[in-house]
Chains A and B, each alone.
Chain A
């Protein structure tokens, strides 16, 4: 038992360290939960997608993808072009995503090709690539736009007409994703789901496949989802308070926390019932009961006046959070596909993967393309959340902060999961919020806090890379020591 505790502490040392720093900073900052919570949830919605974009390369053994900066550039180029061509609002954002996808695919392919010819040094390669790409990007925005391609659009260009402005206002695209109301989400997803079920039925009829309700290919799952959406859809049109509630574009933190508690409990209970029915494992699923207990405790905690007051002021951007949740589910699902399994294999041992007939180079390129495309989407979320695109700076820190956040969550160069990403974003950005206030209180200077958070971001990356290198050196040294004695 003692060993287990020690192993747990050792395994989670980085997380625990940052947790204690955060708690200390919270105490020292004197910030109210109202300010802290609303800031944290905004930042979580803004940054998590980008951090999740890092996971697939880690799984495929490419390490921390410093090349996501390239994906961010793809997003910014698209954003510039869409504004230039008059895109605006929600449709504008989706146009940016649509335009960024092919650019990111091409760039991801190129970075993937590069990484394939420098296997084992992908991380340093990614760093240098991002610097090189930044030079190219500056050339494009400072000289080509306006200098070679004449652009007469005062909102975007400097007064000389050559070079793009340092900060571009997004206009109606500002927080367009964050502001999509629940009403619209519910309506659109109902019709999308309806169309999906209809197409599925038509597909089965055309292909003459049997139509079953149950089993792995059964229709029960999509139909249940459709049923829930239908209920929601009808409610919006019949019950006025519900309509008013859903017509808001943000969700109150209190409702959100309760919703999450209900969903987690429901999923756990569903699994418990299924386990018992299928008699899959002997004994009771203790882990699931523990989770239920934790949810109950968490719920009680939210009833504390401090916390509930803080949560009451939290305004969660529903659509952005749904995208993040969707990406988490996608990654979990993806790991369990043939391609995902191949990536895991390659991540563990490239030689074995080759011997098993997996096309290592191709799979690694796919991993890089996926990461770059996701990074582009992540950058779109970040920019629209700010409402302003800082043309020459927005992409540069993105890689640094996303990687630092992932590492703070307990990930390493070779191991990272959705869990690490979420914990990491929460801890890392808590520190970002708290550090300036804490240092003002302790040292009388907010600037020290600024320095501290930049220092923390770089330090945690440096530490992770040193640990990674150290492990490799230690392994080699160990081999050598043994060989010397032998």
Chain B
């Protein structure tokens, strides 16, 4: 009999001690379906997937209640290998790739094709020799099926991030008898073009009858690609709906549980006459993929200055150049003093804090506690949270704990305690830790790069509101770099649009869509004026 559902999760309940993280959650996925799994950070998506994959963390904490059925048969996985054997695969958010291996070796990782040898007949299969020709052939086929032209014997180290994602997918597709693939925020690290390609690939995969569970924060992608969607909130099932019968606003409401108010009130775009906070002149930044080729602008104190533009045009490069993470030329004057761009930490000493878009890479120490992450910056630069005993400096644990608790409360960081390792937090909460860390330095100017990338609507709203509040109450100057124009327009006083490494135009938030569109496609102010008027 042909089973209707490839996966059924019925009445799943999971508690860590007293804390119930999943309560009576059900999910049904048909073959060949793309099923979006949505929810805020901490809504229980990861726990649900951990149960599905039989991760050890579930068993170590007392297992779960409820039924998991694969193709109609009840299963109870006790190890990830069981899930793999049953035809369930996962495309991880962090790449499970080995840089020193070739693409073929990575695709075939743990499932190498082998041919028997004399020794294997005596000592067992683990001494069979690798059949590299067959491995290469299979890898080639998998890569071709998702439209990747790259050579299969290239090493993974040094490949662009997007390619690594596709190698991961090729690996899952290569598995025999794969029935269900879980994509965990696959587009979070991809450029727009790569993301579009990925959605196409997902479509191709489902045409082979493989089902996909698609976890993402980008609701527009859900609307484009998914067939059905399930929303979780605070560990409970909010609802399951076909995409055709819903819309963006409804999904957003289901996730947050309240309708989203319009953020802030758009300013009129006039430059105030407050003193200049930072003055950038002819800035060139050599950041691969985000090159800046001569940018000049002034930001006045108390202003929220937005920088927008397409991915890869250089908007992210500006912030990385000012903070000294990538080599930069040009002159930057902050609060009247020139900045030495070649020194890491120089910006911070001048009261400029930077929240990086690459929070896992450079923003956070993943193996350290939340408290330490929030405070190590000021410890090294401003010698705070340290008790002095003559020449000996010790961490002032009590003060640290106090401050961490304050920040956790203020920014609603969802965690067990300030001692939890940052690496175990979800993306949105990591972003909040980054922000807390930057704010702890009591900066006069805050540069936030992609503050809402990969995080859910609730967290996004909280962060944006908090930025506005800081500006109003403490006169903080903010430079906000974002790919989401809507976000910039609802928050900023003025928005610079960057294209091809240069500022094309500085627009007020109430400028028309046409003006923004033209600026993004690198049509300068004067030309734009002509086009708009005509």
Is B129's CB under 8 angstroms from A336's CB? Answer: yes
Give the residues in chain B near A355, CB-CB below 8 Å.
Answer: 80, 92, 96
Q: Mark B117-141, 1 if CB is under 8 A from A, else 0.
A: 1111100011111100000000000
Q: Does B251 contact A (CB under 8 A)?
A: no
| B363 touching A483, Cβ below 8 Å | yes
Quick one: which of A351-370 are within 8 Å of B by CB? Answer: 351-358
- Interface stretch of the complex, out of B108-116, B259-267, B270-278, B466-474: B108-116
Distance, CA A352 to CA B120, complexed state (A) = 26
B377 on the A face (CB < 8 A): yes
How far is B122's CA from A312's CA once the two chains are assembled, in angstroms? 43
8 A Cβ contacts from A318-343 to B: 333-334, 336-339, 341-342
B365: Cβ under 8 A from any A Cβ: yes
Contact A337 B128 (CB under 8 A): yes
Residues of A near B129 (CB, < 8 A) are 333, 336-337
Question: Scoring A residues 373 to 389 as 1 if CB is less than 8 Å from chain B, else 0, what string do you get?
Answer: 00000000000000000
B365's partner among A339, A353, A483 (CB-CB below 8 A) is A483
Contact status A345-B98, CB under 8 Å: yes
Cα–Cα distance between A216 and B134 once the two chains are bound (Å):
13
CB-contacts of B77-116 with A (<8 A):
80-81, 84, 92, 96-101, 105, 109-112, 114-115
User: In the complex, A481→B100 CA distance in Å?
Assistant: 26
For A353, give the chain B residue with the smallest CB separation: B110
Cα A482 to Cα B356 in complex, Å, equals: 10
Please tell me if the beta carbons of A485 and B130 are within 8 angstroms of each other in the complex: no
Q: B325 near A: Cβ within 8 Å? A: yes
Q: Are B84 and A481 in contact (CB under 8 A)?
A: no
Q: Chain B, 350-387, contact with A by CB distance < 8 Å: what is the 0/1 string? A: 00001110100111110000000000110011000000
A337 near B117 (CB under 8 angstroms)?
yes
User: Across the interface, which residues of A come within 8 angstroms of B81, CB to CB?
Assistant: 357
**A474 → chain B closest CB, angstroms:** 15
**With contacts A341-B105, A352-B97 known, is A216 near B92, CB below 8 A?**
no
Residue B43, interface by CB 8 Å: no
**Minimum Cβ distance to chain A for residue B349 (Å):** 10
Q: Give the CA-CA distance A356 to B355 in the complex, in Å.
A: 34
B168 CB, nearest partner CB in chain A, Å: 11
Nearest-neighbor residue (CB-CB) of A222 within chain B:
B118
Are B110 and A486 in contact (CB-based, < 8 A)?
no
B180, CB-defined interface residue at 8 Å:
no
**Given A336-B129, A337-B128, A484-B377, A358 contacting B110 (CB threshold 8 A):** yes
Of B99, B109, B434, most A-chain CB atoms within 10 Å: B109
Measured CB to CB, the nearest residue on chain B to A352 is: B96
A480 near B127: Cβ-Cβ < 8 Å: no
Interface digits, A211-245 against B, CB 8 Å rule (1 contact, 0 not)? 00000110000000000000000000000000000
Does A279 sit within 8 A of B, measured CB to CB?
Answer: no
Alpha-carbon distance between A39 and B345 when the two chains are bound, in angstroms: 58
Q: Is the CB of B362 within 8 A of A338?
A: no
**Chain A residue with the shortest CB-CB distance to B85:** A357
Q: Does A348 contact B (CB under 8 A)?
A: yes
Asked if residues A351 and B96 are in contact (CB atoms below 8 Å), the reply is yes
Our pick among B92, B111, B127, B344 for the contact of A481 (Cβ within 8 Å) is: B344
Chain A residues near B98 (CB-CB < 8 A): 345, 348-349, 352
A203, A480, A482 interface centre (most CB from chain B within 10 Å): A482
Q: Does B323 contact A (CB under 8 A)?
A: yes
Kindly state the separation between the CA atoms of A366 and B117 in the bound complex, as whole angstroms: 19
Bound: A355/B84 CA distance, A: 10
B323 touches A486 (CB 8 A): yes
**Chain A interface main SS type:** helix
A338, B381: Cβ atoms closer than 8 Å? no
A351 to B348, CA, bound (A): 35
Identify the interface centre among B99, B110, B117: most chain A CB within 10 Å of its CB: B110
With both chains docked as a complex, state the minimum distance between the C-beta of B30 and any C-beta of chain A, in angstroms: 27
B128 touching A485, Cβ below 8 Å? no
What chain A residues lie within 8 Å of B451 (beta carbons)?
none
CA distance A339 to B130 in the complex (A): 10
Are B344 and A482 touching (Cβ within 8 A)? Answer: yes
The CA of A339 and the CA of B381, in the complex, are separated in Å by: 49
Docked complex Cα distance between A354 and B83 (Å)? 13
B96 touches A339 (CB 8 A): no
Docked complex Cα distance between A345 and B99 (Å) = 10
Whether B345 lies near A485 (C-beta < 8 A) is yes
**B324 in the interface (beta carbon within 8 A):** yes
Given contacts A483-B365, A486-B362, contact A341 B127 (CB under 8 A): no
A residues in contact with B202, CB < 8 Å:
none
Taking CB atoms, residues of chain B closer than 8 Å to A341 are 105, 112, 130
The 8 Å CB contact of A485, one of B109, B323, B358, is: B323
Residue of A nearest to B325 (CB): A485
CA distance A29 to B101 in the complex (A): 46
B347 within 8 A of A: yes
Give A217 to B117 CA distance when docked, in angstroms. Answer: 9
Nearest residue, chain A, Cβ from B361 = A482
- The answer to whether A484 and B101 touch across the interface, beta carbons within 8 angstroms, is no
Q: Which listed residue (A216, A345, A349) contacts B115, Cβ 8 A?
A: A216
Bound-state CA distance A481–B377 (Å) is: 9
- On whether the beta carbons of B101 and A338 are closer than 8 Å, the reply is no
User: Are B110 and A342 touching (Cβ within 8 A)?
Assistant: yes
Contacts of A216 in B (CB 8 A): 115
Given contacts A348-B101, A480-B376, contact A337 B323 (CB under 8 A): no
CA distance A238 to B376 in the complex (A): 83
Determine whether the beta carbon of B80 is less than 8 Å from that of A357: yes
Interface string of B310-354 (1 = CB under 8 A from A): 000000000000011100000000000000000011011000001
Whether B347 lies near A485 (C-beta < 8 A) is yes
Nearest CB of B to A349, in Å: 5
Contact B110 A337 (CB under 8 A): no
Report whether B110 and A339 are in contact in the complex, using a CB–CB cutoff of 8 Å. no
- The chain A residue with its CB closest to the CB of B379 is A484
Residue of A nearest to B355 (CB): A486
Chain B residues with CB under 8 A of A203: 121
Q: Select A483's contact among B97, B114, B127, B362, beta carbons within 8 Å.
A: B362
Name the interface residues of A227-277: CB closer than 8 Å to any CB of B: none
Pick the residue among B99, B111, B323, B347 that contacts A357 (CB under 8 A).
Answer: B111
**How far, in whole Å, are A357 and B80 apart by their CA atoms in the complex?**
7
Task: Give the docked Cα–Cα distance between A348 and B118 (Å).
Answer: 28
Given contact pairs A337-B128, A483-B365, A484-B381, A356 touches B96 in the complex (Cβ within 8 A)? yes
* A338 engages B127 (CB within 8 Å): yes
CB distance from A483 to the nearest CB of B (A): 6
**Most chain B beta-carbon contacts within 10 A, residue among A200, A345, A351, A485:** A485
Contact B376 A484 (CB under 8 A): yes
Chain A residue nearest to B125 (CB atoms) is A338
Q: Which A residues lie within 8 Å of B118 (CB)?
A: 200
Q: Are B130 and A337 in contact (CB under 8 A)?
A: yes
Contact of B356 among A217, A479, A486 (CB under 8 A): A486
Question: How far is B364's CA from A354's CA once the two chains are assembled, in angstroms?
Answer: 25
Contacts of A344 in B (CB 8 A): 101
Interface residue from A353, A357, A483 paired with B364 (Cβ < 8 Å): A483
Given A348-B101, A357-B81, check contact A485 B348 (CB 8 Å).
yes
Contacts of A200 in B (CB 8 A): 118
In the complex with contacts A338-B125, A342-B110, A482-B96 CB distance below 8 A: no
Interface string of A91-109 (1 = CB under 8 A from B): 0000000000000000000
**Set of chain B residues within 8 Å of A356, measured between Cβ atoms:** 96, 109-111
Instruction: Say yes or no: A484-B356 contact (C-beta < 8 A), given A337-B129, A338-B130.
Output: no
- Interface pairs (17), CB distance under 8 Å: A216-B115, A337-B128, A337-B129, A338-B114, A338-B125, A339-B127, A345-B109, A348-B101, A352-B96, A480-B365, A481-B344, A482-B325, A483-B365, A483-B377, A484-B377, A485-B347, A486-B323
Known contacts A336-B130, A338-B128, then 12 further A-B pairs from the complex at CB < 8 Å, ordered by chain A residue = A337-B120, A337-B129, A344-B101, A345-B110, A352-B109, A357-B81, A480-B365, A482-B325, A482-B344, A482-B362, A484-B345, A485-B362
Pairs A-B, 9 closest by C-beta atoms? A356-B110, A486-B356, A482-B362, A339-B126, A356-B109, A485-B344, A357-B81, A348-B98, A357-B110
